[in-house]
Amino acid sequence: MLNTLHSGNRLRVDFAKTPQQIEVPNLLQLQQSSYDSFLMIDQKDRSKSGIERVFQSAFPIHDSQNRLSLEYLGSEVGRPKYTVRESMERGLTYSVSLRIKTRLVIWDRDENTKEKLAVKDIKEQTIFIRDIPLMTDRTSFVINGVERVVVNQLHRSPGVIFKEEESSTAGSKMIFTGQIIPDR
């Protein structure tokens, strides 16, 4: 029995005698769900994972004399200003704004012992960090009005690689090159 499937402007014909048992998975769904869980836009409790966890690992920040400390209070991921279509038409990046709420604590210190005595001043402020590109429903990004996709690459092992190549300009002369691949 012939099974036909229309895919765009192409016709696919399946000549198999047995019906297909395994559903073809949506392989891009893994990237979509991973990116969504990193940004956590629609979730109420954003305290333990994603971008929230990244900020929590970097704060608090203290100055070298221990007079100031910058504390992290939370993050806000905004809503996109334009739709995907509007971003493409205007040549813009389809993105959301990332803001963090911080608290700067200024300590009063004893000049002799250099110990913290009391809190001198506290300032809280919401700071704009940057616009973060937002993944579309098609698992792509719109950057400067152009749709782009993420392609995974293999990571080359760190170390030093030496090559011996024949020169393209100096005839049969051999050129020895070295390439350093860092750990990061």
Every domain of the chain and the residues it spans: 46-163
pLDDT tens figures, 16-68: 777 777 777 777 888 888 888 888 877 666 667 788 888 888 888 888 877 88
Of 114 and 1, the one with more pLDDT:
114
In angstroms, the CA 101 to CA 19 distance is: 56
The helix/strand count (H/E) of the chain reads as 3, 10
Largest CA distance in the chain: 92
pLDDT tens figures, 131-145: 999 999 888 999 999
Residue 82 has a pLDDT of: 93
- pLDDT tier, 94 (very low <50, low <70, confident <90, very high otherwise): very high
E-assigned strand segments in the chain: 3-7, 10-14, 61-62, 68-77, 95-109, 116-133, 141-143, 146-148, 159-166, 174-181
What pTM was computed for the model? 0.62
Q: Could you give the angle at the alpha carbon of 79 between the alpha carbons of 76 and 83, nearest 5°?
A: 160
32: enclosing H helix or E strand: helix 29-39
Q: Is the pLDDT of residue 183 over 80?
A: no
pLDDT tens figures, 161-170: 888 888 777 7
Q: Cα-atom radius of gyration of the chain, to the nearest Å?
A: 27
Interval 7-22 mean pLDDT: 76
